[in-house]
Amino acid sequence: MRLRLLPPTLVNRIAAGEVIERPAAAVKELVENALDAGATRIDVQTQDGGKALIAVSDNGCGMDREELRLAVERHATSKLPTDDLLNIHTLGFRGEALPSIGAVARLRLTSRPQGAAEAWSLAVEGGAIADPAPAAAGAGTRVEVRDLFYATPARLKFLKSTRSETDAIKDVLTRLALARPEIGFFLTEGERALLKLPAEPLGDAGRLNRLAAVLGRDFAPNALPILAEREGITLTGHIGLPTYHRGTAAAQFLFVNGRPVKDKLLVGAVRGAYQDVLAHDRHAVVALYLDLPPTEVDVNVHPAKTEVRFRESGLVRGMIVGTIRHALAGAGHRASTAMTGAALGSFQAQPVQTHFTQWRPIESRPAPALAEAAYRFQAPPAGFAPLPGMAQPSDFAPAARAEAPLPAPGEEAFPLGAARAQLHETYILAETRDGVILVDQHAAHERLVYEKLKAALADQGIARQALLIPEVVEMEESAAEALLARTADWQQLGLMVEPFGPGAVLVREVPALLGKLDLPEMVRELAEQARDLGDGFALTDKLHHVAATMACHGSVRAGRRLSVPEMNALLRQMEVTPNSGQCNHGRPTYVQLSRSDLERLFGRK
């Protein structure tokens, strides 16, 4: 078989497989064209998940008859005036979207330039281009795509359900709307309005309003603003508190020069920044806007334009990690308000069993004098001794334990209040000026110990304490070998171990910061980590992870009784310790209920 050139129609259909792989990709390309045209309002209409119809209308600059004809030719664009691919200031630049869509669908473009007297329309069906014809339309452009992939039935068979395709379209439009909050975005599927995002004012307030409209009203009170600038790179946006998280990464929005991206480098930087404060199966909620000179980033990596390459990738990653960690540390003990909602939702009023079927509440209350007389009448006489076996009032004492003297008046003014009781030898009940706080003593102390270990590592190393009697810890031989292979690493963490025969190690010193702990359990867990990680265990990357394990074993355990001074000391340390709103595993350390929350629980509001 001899070589031959493929016909242009077939070339366009092949190229369309990379650019337009599903309806959401077509919507993305068309909306980006509208944004580049200077539109301030974009309306998107779809039917059957975009398979039957995609219509994108904008009020941008529009196109005249000659531009309309040129727009459907491959690699025709107005966005590269200098032919410099390293200096791109627009979302689109490849000139492939419209001809790719026209090759696999029935495409119609109707456009009228601002200030022009007439509009023009052009149709493309399966790659066949018709001549432009006069049309009636307002200023701007409307693009209609019908029967997507009718010319490539094989691709049509691989599309997902209407709901899945609609969700993908909504996600694409949402990310573009977050990139440009000053522009109005509206999405309709059939007769249903799926997205209504009116234009917001320029600035941080408008951006936060757009984020709240997408993520929910509870995002704003649980978000931290970030701002950093380094070597011509600016990072802005909002990040969620560690206790405000999601089960997937769908709520992570990343933008580079106003372009929504899904870049592994940026996603990894966000994960690394939250590593010490978020559980491994949870994902942070963030919206990061990275702005840098176009010459420092390559957006021409893939036809979908969702991946980028940075000239200084290390600088970008370090900037993101450092900025997020600094903001989280500045939040101190602050925790998500969503925890309060979850706590309120867990309370359920229990119906009281009664033998009175027609009981009704008394509408009036007795006079104070009458109530006092009734109280004296029902009180036991002086010298009264209960019968053997009769229940004593002390038998009904609550399980909470409080000690005298109570904290001095005024301690409630502290952010975490004053300790009033210990519940089930696990939770600290504190009173604030505006409500109550319930603290998990183990989770809270675990974070305090961990932060002290990290500070000691960054300073002069962790102080060690020699054991009066060295302890022998037995384990599997492979685990012991892996543990002993990292002896120098353990020394930096304040742990001194020596070989003690096959399958055993001798522990001589432990970190002084750790309190009473189950030393054999901790050493065996460290050995398992060292064995599983093998040669990939790098101290610079895993030192904090090991410190977190030590902190977990060396903190106050659930079931330990604490005195009121000890509980108050724990609260005061939490107030000045970074990230104390969550433990090392990402769980919240406390839940707060305001006075109004309590009043709602008891129906007083």
Instruction: Identify whether 550 is part of a domain.
Output: yes
Beta strand 184-189 pairing with 41-47? parallel
Q: Domain for residue 472, yes or no? A: yes
Domain around 23? 8-197
Using one digit for the tens of pLDDT, what is the confidence trace for 505-517?
Answer: 999 988 876 767 7
Residue 18 resides in a domain: yes
Same domain? 229 vs 112: no
Residues 314 and 217 in one domain: yes
Q: Give tens-digit pLDDT for 246-261.
A: 989 999 999 999 999 9
* Three-state SS sequence of 419-469: EEEEECCCEEEEEECCEEEEEEHHHHHHHHHHHHHHHHHHCCCCCEEEEEE
Whether residue 91 has pLDDT greater than 90: no
Query: Which residues contact residue 390 at a Cβ distance below 8 angstroms, ignoring those fewer than 6 apart?
Result: none
- Are residues 177 and 233 both part of a single domain? no
Identify whether the C-beta of residue 258 lies closer than 8 Å to the C-beta of residue 179.
Answer: yes
- CATH code at 281? 3.30.230.10
- Per-position DSSP letters for 253-300, written without gaps between them: EEEETTEEE--HHHHHHHHHHTTTTS-TT-EE-EEEEEE--GGGEE-T
Residue 559 falls inside a structural domain: no
Average pLDDT over residues 88-107: 82
Domain C-terminal end among 149, 178, 197: 197
Inside any domain, residue 436:
no
Do 218 and 177 fall into the same domain? no
**Do 19 and 162 sit in the same domain of this protein?**
yes
The two tokens of residue 367 are: 């006079």
Burial class (CB in 10 A: 0-12, 13-18, 19+), 296: middle
Q: What whole-number percentage of the chain has pLDDT above 90?
A: 40
Q: Is 318 found in the same domain as 174?
A: no
The pLDDT score that the predictor gives to residue 396 is 44
In terms of Cα–Cα distance, which of 580, 590, 571, 573 is closest to 337?
590
What is the rounded CA–CA span in Å between residue 344 and residue 336?
14
What are the structure tokens assigned to 341, written together? Answer: 């909602």
pLDDT of amino acid 3: 83
From 267, 299, 330, the end of a domain falls on: 330
Is the residue at 72 inside a domain? yes
Instruction: For residue 380, tell me if it sits in a domain.
Output: no
Is 291 among the domain residues? yes
**Listed residues 330, 352, 381: the one ending a domain:** 330
What is the pLDDT at residue 80? 67
Residues 483 and 526 in one domain: yes
- Closest C-alpha among 553, 231, 599, 568 to residue 403: 568
CATH no. for residue 43? 3.30.565.10
The total number of structural domains that make up the chain:
3
What span, in angstroms and rounded, lies between the C-alpha atoms of 60 and 141?
7
Token output for 448: 């305090």
Assign residue 315 a region: left if phi > 0, alpha if psi is -120 to 50, beta otherwise?
A: alpha
User: Are 39 and 90 part of one and the same domain?
Assistant: yes
User: Do 170 and 288 fall into the same domain?
Assistant: no
The order of strands in the sheet holding 464-474 is: 464-474, 504-511, 496-499
* Cα 153 from Cα 155, distance rounded (Å): 5
User: Using only C-alpha atoms, what is the Rg of the chain?
Assistant: 33
Mean pLDDT of 322-344: 77
Question: Within this chain, do residues 209 and 158 fall inside the same structural domain, yes or no?
Answer: no
Residue 96: pLDDT band by 50, 70, 90 thresholds? confident
Is residue 247 domain-shared with residue 217, that is, in the same domain?
Answer: yes
| Contact present, 96 and 24 (Cβ < 8 Å) | no
- The SS3 assignment for 27 reads helix
Does residue 186 share a domain with residue 44? yes
The residues pairing with 443 across neighbouring beta strands, listed in sequence order, are none
Asked if residue 408 has pLDDT above 90, the reply is no
Give me the mean pLDDT over the 289-309 stretch.
84
State how far the Cα of 242 lies from the Cα of 24, in Å rounded to an integer.
31
Would you state the pLDDT for residue 531? 72
User: Of 221, 219, 315, 224, nearest to 265 (Cα)?
Assistant: 315
Average pLDDT over residues 200-207: 92
Which single residue is written with the structure tokens 């990709």?
A: 25
What CATH number is attached to the domain comprising 506? 3.30.1370.100
Residues 6+ apart with CB under 8 A from 371: 365
Q: Which residues contact 147 (CB under 8 A, 6 or more apart)?
A: 51, 52, 105, 106
